[in-house]
Each structure stands twice: as C-alpha cells, then as structure tokens.
C-alpha cells in the first residue's frame, strides 16, 4: 500500500510545473550561451512546457567557483563550467588538465563520453553534484598584450591569468610565466586595466569575450583541451521525480551534441575573425612547442598522477593508443 501511494505521489509530482536556473560564465552571445538556450528549449519541449529551465549567463549567478559552491550547497539548481575549477573539490577532474593529452576533438569525445569520463563523473555525487554531460570549451591558446610567444623565453615574466587550478599555475610557472589564478568573471577588467598581460582560452572565447580589444598577440599553442561540465545540485536532483531527471538528462545530451557542432564550426571561423579584428597571430615552431611540452612532462606525471592515480593515467594512455591504432 505504501509503495502504491509513493508511486501515485511521484506521478502527481511529475505533472506539476517546475522552474530552475542554469548558470554559466560566458556572455549570452557565445557558444556557451547558444547551447544553454538550446538546452532550455529541449527541456521545455520534452516536458511539454512543464519544466522551465532559465539560463542565466555572463556570471550573473557568480563565477564558476562561486556557482559550484551554490550548486553543491543546493542553493542553485544547475550550471555549466570548467572542469578545471572543480579539481579542488573532485581531484580526479585533474585528468582533463593534462597538457597535450588529446591530438584532436574526436579523441576528447571518445574519452569524455566513454567509461573513463563516466568514472570521473562518478566521483561527483559524494561532493554534492550530479554530472550530466561534458561540453566542449576547446583547445586553449595564448593571448597577451606584450609580444608574440614564439619560444619559451617569451613567456618569461608575463603576468598570465590562469584558471583557479593547481596544474595550470604550476605548468605556466614552469614555463617561466608569472601565472596568477583568477576567476574568469574578473578577467576582462584585469586585461583592460593591465593588471594582467595575458590569458589562455579557446578561439571561441577570445572572440565572444572580445579579448582582441585588449590583447594584440595570439600565439597558437593548443596546449590543453578544456571540457566544460554540466552539473546539477545533488540535493535538488534527488528530489526530482525519475521521469523529470530523465527529461533533463536527455535534453542535456541533445544540447551537448548541438554545442560541440556549433563550437567546432565557430572555432574554424574564429581565427579568421580574430585576424580581421587586428590580432597578430603566430605559431611557435615545432621545436619550441616540444621544449614547452618537455618542460611540462614532470607536471603530467607528478601533479596529475598524484591526483588521479597512476593506474587511471595508464588506462587513459592505453585507451588513447588503442583509439589511435584502430
Ligand atoms: C567560463 C570559464 C571559461 C574558462 C576559463 O566561466 O575560466 O578560462 O575557460 O570558459 O569556465
């Protein structure tokens, strides 16, 4: 009897309207903003208008780290943000900080959507989160207002904003930069005032955040692939009827597929747009990139190995080798 009542009650709940927020950090006019709108549309369609997801962009709900705290505490329902800022809470997320891990976006999809991506997401519930899907932020490149970065020495002393993430701080300090952690929400002002000389982000973000207005030089390094991760508050999620969880999960997956397509199309065009906006673009030589890569090798083994565990790191290498050989 109790069981039957429970089922009836949850069926009734699944019928009632529900409004919730989905926070993100970039401008509304960005790949993140476009995908957030698609996500909200899909949630509405799949629920016949009963579930209303309200996307709130431009860090109006706070920077990634502030939103993370609110989501895990249960005062904010959902967000999308960088995995890099999550590492302080879920150390296994450090896997995605490994410099030069992927040779292309297909390899990223393969690992993120496969067993390893799921395994790492599986660490989230203990910390108050439910991970739904990974979106693409993309391969990161360097911009700055001082000089083209052609060789290792060019990074020396550069006040470089990095994400609030140990590996990024260590990696860029190892390369000689004066790397300083800062929330993305504060970055534009810091670049404009000269408090920071440079930053690193994918072409899409350099364009949508108008960093070309303060940054003359763009150096193509593709030094790391950054995922974004769509998170729900576990406290909130656990109270949702199963049917509603399924709708949101399905909409998140559809929005992910849209987001990756859209981001890749934009990235293909963005470099040309950035040149038109007046950025001076250079590519360090293969030799110089290799030197940077070699300098970062010990970070890979020590820092990331320590956080994610060597067995997982080896498994990742194995899966990538298998994928490349297929
Ligand atoms: C946006 C950030 C951004 C990230 C960063 O909130 O902080 O540089 O690349 O996309 O998550």
Which of 5-19, 77-91, 296-310 is the least confident region? Answer: 5-19
Q: pTM surpassing 0.90? A: yes
Beta bridge partners of 281: 218
Report residue 8's pLDDT band, with 50, 70 and 90 as the boundaries. very low
Ligand 1 atom at minimum distance from 64 CA: 6
pLDDT tens figures, 99-133 = 999 999 999 999 999 999 999 999 999 999 999 99
Nearest CA to ligand 1 atom 7: 184
Provide mean pLDDT across the span 18-30: 98
Residues in the chain: 326
Calpha distance 314→319 (Å, rounded): 9
pLDDT tens figures, 158-191 = 999 999 999 999 999 999 999 999 999 999 999 9
Report residue 5's pLDDT band, with 50, 70 and 90 as the boundaries. very low
Residue 86 has pLDDT above 70, yes or no: yes
CB 187 within 8 A of CB 85: no
Binding pocket residue ranges, ligand 1, CB within 6 Å: 25-26, 64, 81-82, 137, 163, 184, 201, 205, 226
Ligand 1 atom at minimum distance from 82 CA: 11
pLDDT given for residue 2 in this prediction: 42
CB 25 within 8 A of CB 237: no
């Amino acid at each position: 009897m109790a069981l039957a009542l429970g089922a009836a009650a949850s069926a009734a709940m699944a019928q009632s309207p529900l409004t919730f927020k989905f926070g993100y950090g970039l401008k509304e006019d960005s790949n993140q903003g476009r995908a957030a709108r698609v996500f909200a549309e899909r949630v509405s369609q799949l629920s016949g208008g009963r579930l209303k997801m309200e996307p709130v962009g431009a860090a109006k709900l706070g920077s990634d780290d502030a939103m993370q705290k609110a989501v895990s505490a249960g005062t904010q329902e959902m967000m999308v943000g960088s995995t890099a800022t999550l590492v302080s809470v879920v150390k296994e997320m450090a896997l995605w900080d490994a410099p030069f891990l992927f040779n292309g976006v297909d390899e990223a999809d393969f690992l993120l959507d496969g067993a390893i991506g799921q395994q790492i997401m599986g660490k989230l519930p203990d910390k108050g989160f439910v991970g739904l899907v990974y979106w693409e932020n993309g391969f990161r490149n360097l911009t700055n207002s001082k000089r083209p970065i052609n060789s290792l020495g060019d990074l020396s002393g550069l006040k470089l904003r990095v994400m609030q993430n140990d590996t990024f701080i260590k990696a860029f300090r190892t390369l000689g930069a004066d790397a300083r952690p800062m929330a993305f929400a504060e970055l534009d002002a810091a670049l404009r005032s000269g408090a920071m000389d440079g930053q690193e982000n994918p072409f899409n973000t350099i364009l949508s955040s108008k960093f070309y207005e303060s940054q003359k030089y763009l150096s193509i390094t593709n030094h790391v692939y950054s995922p974004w991760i769509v998170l729900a508050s576990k406290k909130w999620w656990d109270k949702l009827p199963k049917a509603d969880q399924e709708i949101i999960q399905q909409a998140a997956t559809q929005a992910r597929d849209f987001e990756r397509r859209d981001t890749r199309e934009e990235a293909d065009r963005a470099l040309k747009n950035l040149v038109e906006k007046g950025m001076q673009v250079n590519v360090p030589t293969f030799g110089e990139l290799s030197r940077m890569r070699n300098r970062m090798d010990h970070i890979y083994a020590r820092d990331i190995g320590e956080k994610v565990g060597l067995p997982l790191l080896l498994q990742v290498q194995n899966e990538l080798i298998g994928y490349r050989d297929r």
